[in-house]
Amino acid sequence: MCGIIGILSDYPVGDYLIEGLKRLEYRGYDSAGIAVLQDHKIQVLRTVGAVNKLEQSYAASPFVGNVGIAHTRWATHGGVSEKNAHPHLSCKGDVAVIHNGIIQNYSELRQRLQNNGHIFRSDTDTEVAAHLLEDELGSGKSLLQAAIAIAKELRGEYALVFMLKDFPDKMIAIRKSSPLLIGVGQNENIVSSDALAFLDKTNRAIFLEDESIAIIGKKDIEVYTFSGQRRKLHAIELAAEFSLPDKESYEHFTIKEIHEQPEVIAKVLEQEPGSFTLFRKEIERAKRIFIVAAGSSFHASLLGRSYLSEYAGIYSDVVLASEYKSVAKWFDDDCLILCVSQSGETMDVIEAAKTAKQNGATVISIVNRSPSTLEKTSDAVVRLNIGAEVGVAATKSFTAQAFLFYAVAKGNMQAHDAVELKGAMTEVLRHEAMIAKLSDIISRSKDVYYLGRGLNYAIALEGALKLKELAYMHAEGLAAGELKHGPLALIEKGTPLFLINPEDDTYEETLSNGVEVKSRGGMLIGLSTKPSVHYDFFVRLPEVRREFYPIVESIPLQLLAYYSAKVLNKDVDRPRNLAKSVTVK
Ligand code: G6P
């Protein structure tokens, strides 16, 4: 996590860095900072809170300089405080560093540096890098030699960018696992975690390969391996999908993205025939299939497993990316790993993909953002094609992933499927005002439960996750049959329970589970095609074919989470403590 940006230019860079940070904020937003080389001195400003706090402080006393770095943080080591915000300086203030990732051996390095007289001013893992570089350069090493020495010392995963008082026309960037790329401009170069930060300046970018060191000037870029071999540079032209997203007339990106779903669902079918055929072929060839994902992508993968089982007759296993090691011994030549990730940057998913590749398995990734580290690690990639998703909580990527799985399981890309879904999604969105009112009631509750069976179980999990992420409310998604194995004890008078219950083969049994809750005083909210006297509130689902119900059901639950967050005055697009791209383990 964390967003980093550094720039060397002919013009003052301060305002530009702040603008860049705003576009990187989806990567973390608990504190932010900027450092600019001004009059042979590194000037630093750091603030707690989102980038607009930094912007306000910076506007009051801006720096003037043509070289600078900036950072928006998602705290790992060291609490959320000004002293732990990046950039961090070395003792003499000659080296400033920004970092995305985790330096695992920072404690021992810190101890050693402190024993040698270095004074630390933060609790972060990052600060060791500034002190180490100060020592290496102090011993007379060149920039490259010093960077190689640091790369040898640091364990973990990191994207580091250093600004140097004594080398005002150069920056050092070091990449291990965490993403880092360089925007190649006219007489200026920009290094960042994401091209979004520099797209308005240039769409030519060099994606640094893993384990690379870059020595960056205004007009020149040299890239080396960790052993000092020069790498060939390939600048690529970035595609339109990198265009900067716009909220249009919506109050938040999240609600805009919820509303986009009927329009973008058909885009999922815009696949190159080759990649779709390969996907199908690999699914049929593999003796074992593991679907690996995190968060909402995991929930979409649960649906994916059911679709593959029902419509392709193929058994697969779904594994939480952070738990992939428990099945890694089964990753071999006969195995297909489907990595599902909106961002393509989730560290746990990437690690699973790398392990799978090392063990000879085939890796196909399903991503939205592109290019991404995950797709570079995979044998093949299938893209959702639904445009940038900015809201931290996944919405349109979830429904798109589910639909893609459906199309793959069916083995064909039928335009009329997308038309049917579009109609149903549009219809269910008409309940928005009613759900907004319902959110007033739900947001007063201590706990909220979601119940579903079969295909609808994944939506119970996803509905609960949305409410946690957006409204910070305790919510649990349950398999309907599990209710009586414990959770029923939690039902009190007025406890809200969403019964996800379209008229499919699970209808009767699930309704009975709802009645059990009602009999114990719970408040029952039915999401169904059919009203029931047992429901205290009813959200009517449009009739669609059975396999599409889950995709449609997820939309009212997204709306519920969104409006509950609004009632509770939460930061909808940027929920506290979360980030859109989880680039640490
Ligand atoms: C974060 C986001 C979630 C997302 C998860 C997986 O936790 O806040 O909304 O579902 O990461 O992200 P991915 O990009 O791998 O789908």
DSSP string covering 309-353, please? HHHH----EEEEGGGGGGTGGG-STTEEEEEEESSS--HHHHHHH
The three-class DSSP label of residue 33 is strand
pLDDT tens profile 79-119: 999 999 999 999 999 999 999 999 999 999 999 999 999 99
- Number of the ligand 1 atom closest to the C-alpha atom of 394: 9
- The maximal CA–CA distance of the chain, rounded, in angstroms, is 81
- Of 209, 418, 398, 151, give the one whose Cα is nearest residue 297: 398
Cβ–ligand 1 distance for 393 under 6 Å, the answer yes
- Number of the ligand 1 atom closest to the C-alpha atom of 296: 10
> Do 3-238 and 427-575 come out as alike in CATH topology?
no
Q: Which of the residues in the chain have pLDDT under 70? A: 240-244
What is the rounded distance in angstroms from the CA atom of residue 148 to the CA atom of residue 146? 5
Backbone phi, psi, residue 527, to 5°: -105, 105
Nearest CA to ligand 1 atom 4: 295
Cβ–ligand 1 distance for 261 under 6 Å, the answer no
- Residue 499 and residue 527 in contact, taking contact as beta carbons nearer than 8 Å: yes
Cβ–ligand 1 distance for 238 under 6 Å, the answer no
Nearest CA to ligand 1 atom 13: 341
What is the rounded distance in angstroms from the CA atom of residue 33 to the CA atom of residue 54? 7
Backbone phi, psi, residue 173, to 5°: -125, 135
Cβ–ligand 1 distance for 584 under 6 Å, the answer no
Kindly give the pairing relationship between strand 31-38 and strand 67-73: antiparallel
- DSSP labels for 151-191? HHH--EEEEEEEEETT-TT-EEEEEESS--EEEE-SS-EEE
Domain spans in the chain, listed from the N-terminal domain onward: 3-238, 246-413, 427-575
pTM of structure: 0.86
**Was domain 427-575 assigned CATH 1.10.10.10?**
no
- Of 338, 344, 332, give the one whose Cα is nearest residue 289: 338
Distance 385 CA to ligand 1 centre (A): 17
**Was domain 246-413 assigned CATH 1.10.3720.10?**
no
Predicted local confidence at residue 188, as pLDDT: 96
Predicted local confidence at residue 242, as pLDDT: 58
- Of 377, 561, 394, give the one whose Cα is nearest residue 463: 561
- Of 196, 190, 134, 124, give the one whose Cα is nearest residue 158: 124
Calculate the alpha carbon distances from 564 to 251, 494, 503, 507 in Å: 15, 17, 27, 27
Fold of 3-238: Glutamine Phosphoribosylpyrophosphate, subunit 1, domain 1 (3.60.20)
Kindly give the pairing relationship between strand 335-341 and strand 362-367: parallel
Nearest CA to ligand 1 atom 2: 580
Those residues whose C-beta lies under 8 Å from the C-beta of residue 555, and which sit 6 or more positions away, are: 258, 261, 399, 425, 428, 429
Distance 293 CA to ligand 1 centre (A): 9
Those residues whose C-beta lies under 8 Å from the C-beta of residue 333, and which sit 6 or more positions away, are: 360, 361
Distance 64 CA to ligand 1 centre (A): 38
Q: Which helix (H) or strand (E) holds 552?
A: helix 549-567
> Which of 194, 291, 465, 582 gets mutated to test ligand 1 (max ligand atoms within 8 A of its CB)?
582
